[in-house]
């Protein structure tokens, strides 16, 4: 259980921390100081490096989460409300990330490759909104996982 829980927490930190950094630190700087070509190229490079880490984090989170629920808690029937909430939020976050990866991220890459800055800006705008939603969901998921038994029951 100790290894699974440690890996679970570390994977959550990587994913949610990366989104927090991108949304709260990098986005305001790049949006205000760079013209579209270097801004969109920068974001594509950031996503090219960050998204493999997110895929790994998702895999670790799902595997360790289900491992803990099934082997330690004896299944979802025995899991507390905050575990169900954390699982539901995590599955929604995963679906949003998969959508980001396969639709607007690919559109951003294609637009940057063709120097189609208006389309790239549209794709980045969609990614930005979805990452913002996922960041909020990630913070709620972390709160549920860490303090949910005291808050939810």
Percent of the chain with pLDDT over 70: 99
**Integer Cα distance of 82 and 138 in angstroms:** 14
* Residue 21 scores a pLDDT above 60: yes
Q: Are 137 and 94 in contact (CB under 8 A)?
A: no
* Residue 61 scores a pLDDT above 90: yes
Cβ neighbours of residue 125 under 8 Å, at least 6 residues apart?
none
Full residue range of the structural domain in which residue 65 is found: 2-151
Q: How confident is the model at residue 44 (pLDDT cuts 50, 70, 90)?
A: very high
Predicted pLDDT at 30: 83
Predicted pLDDT at 152: 65
Neighbours of 98 (CB within 10 A): 12
The number of domains in the chain is: 1
Structure letter (DSSP) for residue 116 = -
Q: How confident is the model at residue 150 (pLDDT cuts 50, 70, 90)?
A: confident
User: In the chain, how long is the greatest CA-to-CA distance?
Assistant: 54
Report the pLDDT averaged over residues 96-117: 98
């Amino acid at each position: 259980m100790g290894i699974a829980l440690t890996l679970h927490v570390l994977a959550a930190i990587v994913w949610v921390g990366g989104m927090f950094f991108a949304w709260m630190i990098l986005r305001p700087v790049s949006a205000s100081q760079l013209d579209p070509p270097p801004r969109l190229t920068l974001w594509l490079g950031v996503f090219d490096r960050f998204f493999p880490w997110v895929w790994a984090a998702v895999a670790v989170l799902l595997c360790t989460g289900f491992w803990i629920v099934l082997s330690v808690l004896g299944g979802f029937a025995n899991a507390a409300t905050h575990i169900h909430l954390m699982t539901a939020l995590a599955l929604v976050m995963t679906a949003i990330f998969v959508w980001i990866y396969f639709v607007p991220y690919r559109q951003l890459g294609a637009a940057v490759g063709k120097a189609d800055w208006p389309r790239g800006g549209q794709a980045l705008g969609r990614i930005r909104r979805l990452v913002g939603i996922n960041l909020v969901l990630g913070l709620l998921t972390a709160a549920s996982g860490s303090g949910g038994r005291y808050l939810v029951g």
